[in-house]
Amino acid sequence: MNPMYPDKLDRLQEFCLPEDLQEWLDKFRAPEYESAIAKDIPNTDYNLSMNKWLNRYIKTRRKYRGSSRDGYRRPSAFCHADMAERFAVYLR
């Protein structure tokens, strides 16, 4: 954990991750002022598997994001995983 930002990855933790995961995180990195470590990640099988792989090294949780569509009215507090278009990754 980073003492300045306890909800962000430490540089050493990130350095110890496999190179593929580091590149994947760099692609979707969240700004410093947000509590997410990655955001706006498309909800695809590849990205879900990369997130599961990241969970082997660092405990994270996924928050699904999306909008209302035909046949689905999204509740204001959350989005169902089945209807999500993207997700964000937070440290646990």
The DSSP line for 7-38 is TS--HHHHHTS-HHHHHHHHHTBPPTTSS-SE
DSSP-derived letter for residue 72 is B
CB 38 within 8 A of CB 86: no
Phi-psi region of 71 (alpha: psi -120 to 50; beta: other; left: phi over 0): left
Residue (of 90, 60, 62, 64) closest to 79 by Cα position: 64
| Position 77 pLDDT exceeds 70 | yes
Tell me the pLDDT tens digit for each residue of 40-75: 999 999 999 999 999 999 999 999 988 888 888 887
Instruction: State the average pLDDT for the chain.
Output: 87
